Amino acid sequence: MNEVKLSTLDDAVGYWLRRAQLAVFEDFARRFVALELTPAQFSTLIAIRDNPGRRQSDIAAALGIRRPNFVALLDELERRRLAERTPSGADRRANALRLTGAGEALLARALAAQHEQESAIRAHIGEAERDTLVATLRRLVEF
Amino acid sequence: MNEVKLSTLDDAVGYWLRRAQLAVFEDFARRFVALELTPAQFSTLIAIRDNPGRRQSDIAAALGIRRPNFVALLDELERRRLAERTPSGADRRANALRLTGAGEALLARALAAQHEQESAIRAHIGEAERDTLVATLRRLVEF
DNA sequence: TATTGTTATACTCTATAACTATA
DNA sequence: TATAGTTATAGAGTATAACAATA
């Protein structure tokens, strides 16, 4: 196949943002396949560990996940005995979320895998560039 | 809702890459809603304009779109008389792609809208930071 | 009345297998 | 046999409406 030109896309932030995100997420998927964790499940485990006892709605909202879509995700984490829905004391409508011992153990392994990915990125694009990248991306989110 | 902590995600390239990409694509969608063009349709119009007469497969591959998924996308562009499938001379299996006059006209408006988005991004994060961002994202794609 | 968790549902993206017509 | 375009289909991911229990 002869080369196909894509002149206008070659300097577009949106285009490279999408391609870079796909590349990093594919690498993430490779590293996490053994742990059987999707990005959404991984960030959910982090959010629960950092905020034990919080309501489903709060955790879901913080992660940008709609409440209805969070139900099946939690069902699966509970089925695998990684997280639990426990009674929320005062409000009997709410579920308080907590990690199990197995959940904390798996999260520890996942955090190690994530750390390896961050190190690989640092090695590939450079330490300073990585810090600049994260800083710029954070400003872009407010955009 | 009290604040929810997300310690570990706060310095992760993958996390901010995803959030920034969502923010930029939401802005893109707002700017392109009047043109009724998705990112995939927009980049397809660019690819066809830059490579008139090329086969479907080549254009799809250059955009990272699987051949089966490219069919409906092209059907829609043809239905709206923005692009055409024409006979490809030698090989009677292949379709050569071209933009119509209407397609070129709409693409011109789309490119203007994209240019406005790029200007807005430059204004928000700064000229030099934007160039550094694109350069870093391109290196990240090889990752 | 409003909110929490849930069910049902639908729409978009993306992926694969297999067909047809040509090569 | 292999390739170009196509069909059918299935799986994620994400969106909304509406319900039961509770506030």
Inter-chain CB proximity B51 and A5 less than 8 Å: yes
Least confident of A36-40, A72-76, A87-91, A129-133: A87-91
Q: Which residues are CB-neighbours of A124 under 8 A, at least 6 positions away?
A: B139, B140, B142, B143
Instruction: Tell me the average pLDDT across A127-136.
Output: 96
**Exposure on the CB side of residue B45, measured as CA atoms within 13 A:** 26
A41, A73 in Cβ contact below 8 A?
A: yes
What's residue A93's pLDDT?
A: 97
B24, A13 in Cβ contact below 8 A?
A: yes
What residue of B is the nearest CA neighbor of A7?
B50
pLDDT digits (tens, 9 = 90+) for A33-73: 999 999 999 999 999 999 999 999 999 999 999 999 999 99
pLDDT digits (tens, 9 = 90+) for B58-112: 999 999 999 999 999 999 999 999 999 999 988 999 999 999 999 999 999 999 9
Nearest one of A64, A56, A44, A63 to A85, comparing CA atoms: A56
- The C1' atom of D7 and the CA atom of B68 lie apart, in whole Å, by 9
Inter-chain CB proximity A114 and B18 less than 8 Å: no
What's residue B94's pLDDT?
A: 97
pLDDT digits (tens, 9 = 90+) for A100-111: 999 999 999 999
Q: Which nucleotide's C1' is closest to A26 (Cα)?
A: C14
Give the whole-angstrom CA distance, residue B75 versus residue B60.
14
- The C1' atom of D9 and the CA atom of B96 lie apart, in whole Å, by 28
Percent of chain B scoring above 70 in pLDDT: 99
Q: Which residues are CB-neighbours of A113 under 8 A, at least 6 positions away?
A: A31, A32, A35
What's residue A143's pLDDT?
A: 81
Nearest one of A43, A31, A6 to A117, comparing CA atoms: A31
Nearest one of A78, A43, A35 to A59, comparing CA atoms: A43
What's residue B59's pLDDT?
A: 98
Tally of residues, chain B: 143
- The C1' atom of D2 and the CA atom of B94 lie apart, in whole Å, by 14
* CB < 7 A to strand C: residues 90-129, chain A: 91, 93-95
**Exposure on the CB side of residue B81, measured as CA atoms within 13 A:** 3
Inter-chain CB proximity A25 and B18 less than 8 Å: yes
Query: In 10 A of CB A16, how many CB atoms?
Result: 21
What's residue B97's pLDDT?
A: 98
What's residue B89's pLDDT?
A: 85
Give the whole-angstrom CA distance, residue B18 versus residue B118.
19
What's residue B1's pLDDT?
A: 55
Average pLDDT of chain A? 95
What's residue A44's pLDDT?
A: 98
Residue A125's SS3 state is helix
* CB < 7 A to strand C: residues 70-129, chain B: 90-93
The structure's pTM equals 0.94
In the predicted structure, residue B34 carries a pLDDT above the cut 80: yes
Sign, CA torsion A10/A11/A15/A21: positive
What's residue A142's pLDDT?
A: 85
Q: Which pLDDT band holds residue B10 (cuts at 50, 70, 90)?
A: confident
Inter-chain CB proximity A14 and B117 less than 8 Å: yes
Maximum distance among all Cα pairs of chain A, rounded to whole angstroms: 67
Measured from the CB, is B57 under 7 Å from any atom of strand D?
yes
In the predicted structure, residue A1 carries a pLDDT above the cut 60: no
Instruction: Tell me the average pLDDT across B10-23.
Output: 94
